[in-house]
């Protein structure tokens, strides 16, 4: 008699304690995916957690995160690495804090995306998925949020490089950048109470799309930047490159 053993899919969610990260962890758990959250705090809904120390520099963060993930995985490979870490800060060149804000945006978005790429290079399966957080406004000028725009534009370039040959990712791996406009989060509702929320993308819809890609369904080609647009409550995808 043949016995088929089902192997649970495994996924790292970098930024698993944020609003979107928690939604993704919860959605993947419902779909039977084993999840590992990487963040500055623990997500009790995840199967495992790796904590990031804010006192570590960029290289120390990478070294410590990779080491901790290796201990947790014990040689097992990942089906996906999804990074949704980041934040937002405004400011142009006359704002006295604009460089300070740019530094924060770089640490939150570019550091985490670079480390997520390293995780994928070391632990992703053949034909696995890597997702990094870009932003559609950063495909053009962002004079009111220069630091944010610079960081997101750097991620866009990283995604294109990861989607090219000799990037270091496993054979057949798919690297994608998501480019949301406005996500329907409690914080956005709090600070923009009069906005037209019918154009905001629900977190559950983002999680659904990412799970489809994790299952290798409806994936764009590796290196693609994928805008997530919502009109009248309906979300659709648009390739930006």
Helices and strands in the chain: count of H runs, count of E runs: 7, 10
Q: How far lies 160's CA from each of 73, 147, 148, 201, 225, in Å?
A: 28, 20, 19, 24, 8
Q: What is the CATH number of domain 10-239?
A: 3.40.50.720
> Please, which residues have CB within 8 angstroms of residue 156's CB and are 6 or more apart in sequence?
134, 138, 139, 177, 179, 225
DSSP 3-state assignment of 29? helix
| pLDDT value, residue 193 | 87
Q: Of the residues 6, 14, 27, 148, which is catalytic?
A: 148
Residue 192 DSSP label: -
pTM (two decimals)? 0.94
d(CA 153, CA 47): 32
Residue 6: active-site member: no
Task: Indicate the average pLDDT of the chain.
Answer: 94
Please give the average per-residue pLDDT across 10-21, as a whole number: 96
pLDDT in tens, 72-130: 999 999 999 999 999 899 999 999 999 999 999 999 999 999 999 999 999 999 999 99
Does 1 score more than 70 pLDDT? no
């Amino acid at each position: 008699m043949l016995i088929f053993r089902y192997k649970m899919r495994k996924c790292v969610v970098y930024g698993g304690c944020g609003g979107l990260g928690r939604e993704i962890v919860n959605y993947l758990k419902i779909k039977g995916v084993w999840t590992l959250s990487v963040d500055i705090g623990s997500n009790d809904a995840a199967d495992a957690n790796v904590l990031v120390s804010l006192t570590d520099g960029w290289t120390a963060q990478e070294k410590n995160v990779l080491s901790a993930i290796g201990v947790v995985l014990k040689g097992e490979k990942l089906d996906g690495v999804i990074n949704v870490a980041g934040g937002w800060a405004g400011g142009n060149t006359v704002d006295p804090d604009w460089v300070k804000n740019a530094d924060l945006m770089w640490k939150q978005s570019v550091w985490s995306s670079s480390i997520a790429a390293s995780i994928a290079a070391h632990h992703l399966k053949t034909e696995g998925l890597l997702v990094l957080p870009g932003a559609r406004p950063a495909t053009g000028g962002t004079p009111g949020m220069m630091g944010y725009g610079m960081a997101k534009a750097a991620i866009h370039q990283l995604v294109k490089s990861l989607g090219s040959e000799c990037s270091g990712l496993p054979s057949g791996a798919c690297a994608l950048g998501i480019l949301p406009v406005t996500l329907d989060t409690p914080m956005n509702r709090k600070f923009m109470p009069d906005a037209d929320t019918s154009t905001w993308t629900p977190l559950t819809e983002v999680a659904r799309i990412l799970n489809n890609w994790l299952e290798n369904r409806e994936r764009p080609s590796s290196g693609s930047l994928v805008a997530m647009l919502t009109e009248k409550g309906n979300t659709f995808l648009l390739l930006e490159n």
